[in-house]
Structure 1
Amino acid sequence: MFAGGQQRTTPRAQTNAPATQATQAKPSSTPIATQAQTGGATTGSKETKGTWQLKISKGQPQLFSLKADHAPAKEIAAELKRRLNVPVLLSPVMEKARITLEFTGTPLEGALRMIAPQPYVDYEITGDGAAPKLVAIYLYALNEPPPAESAVVTGSSQALLIEGNTEDGIDGSSDKEAQDKTLSVKIERNQVTLHAHRQPLSVVLGELANKVDIPFEMPYDSPELVDVDLSNATMEQVVHALSPNVHLYQRTDLQTFETRPLRIVLAPPTNTQQTTKM
């Protein structure tokens, strides 16, 4: 294959006569030019020896196959960025790293774990039940500071919500009315317990974001009301239970498989009809 041919060429160039070296120089330049087009120009004679070939299946789930021989990690990252159409960021160590490995038919997260010692991925989760959307990839080495939470996922605004005591009656409302308008959010060991009755969706999301300590962005005034009871739920389950207009951005550490929420966004709905989540 592509990488194997490069390995056979190098020892011949070292052992044969100068005339033979001249004939070897022309074919060995071909893969170098191909890599430069894929991942950027390289400098120095040592930078031109690595070879690699990346294949990505067309069906779902996508499967990845890579054959690399002393290949610059930044070139493989550039190809992943081009093929997946998402940012692929490298740490300072991985910018200079070279990779020698081979695997076939591997899902994305497994492939990233073989390419980099410490990879991360950002996903977007929506309340409509669609599959998580890949937002960004980070290829890092061990013992490096993790990427900033806002490295890719950023927002232009953040909703500011002023809340009163939702368990007290207002303007002489009865105890029953006050009970129907309660809101309680608890976070323990990354599990969410949420109790909300006839609460504005924006208020529920604001309280949830406050408890998790992440930004909450609300680019429009939502009329949605929610009525939910959840115990020991994941953030994904909470999003699915609230509204199809909720977008949760989160990061997964592919070494520990721990997930950290990054941002909640309440996006405008596809239709403007007010809904109550029961």
Structure 2
Amino acid sequence: MFSRRMVLVVAVLVLLLLNIAALTVSSSRLDSAGGAAQIALHLTAPFQKGISSTLGWVRSIWTGYFKLVSTAEENEALRLEVATLREQLNGYNELKLLDGRMRSLLSFKEAKARNMVAAEVTGKDASPWYRTLIIDKGTDDGVAKGQPVVVPDGIVGQVIEASHRYAKVLLVTDRNSSVDALVQDTRSRGVLKGGGAGECHFAYANRNDTITAGQRIVSSGLDGVFPKGFFIGTVSKVNKGVAGIFQEVVVTPSVTFEKLEEVLVVMSPETDN
């Protein structure tokens, strides 16, 4: 796009050349007051007409050019304004979602009538051997090793390390995790162990107990770690096999660990207010 200075210079040069040509023709007229004047008028008239037309053309080009420049500037300003408004809307939506999650955590905490500390998930272990996450609450907030970590959907895991400001949580899907558990409706006992691949196993379930897909597994409270009655997952597959005293039960966790953003740490009795 041409600059304003360049367009101005070109227009001035064109006008200057046309005027010089007209003046040259006019100055060469004959001294005769009759036919010479007519000849001069006949010769200069087309140039004057050309100058007028050229001036109109340059004026229209000049006006159109600056209209385009002005429109482009307005479009750019509008584009930036729309981008800003979209960013603000996205921020409002994030705050709305956060408010919904925090209200859910608060309602769950009140329903359980327990002292719990809300924490934000700040990191996850990328190791294929361990299933852990990092939260932004530590010993300064009363968080200690061995405390359960939950959300309204169910049990997340257990605190295994804690510093002043952060703590590491071992997920129930980790192979090193175990929770004493029950089939909620039949009260069949077992131990929920992590499967390491996004699933769990309800181990030591008696082969004679009737366990079917769709039944809910909850914590029994007998391990001294996880409070009684917290939801853990749903039975997805059962295999009694042909021998042995236990049956194989696969459980799908109730918590979607990949989407966790906030959790609740259940305080130990000695830290309760």
TM-score normalised according to structure 2 size = 0.27
The structure richer in helix per residue is 2
TM-score normalised according to structure 1 size = 0.27
Which is higher, the Rg of structure 1 or of structure 2? 2
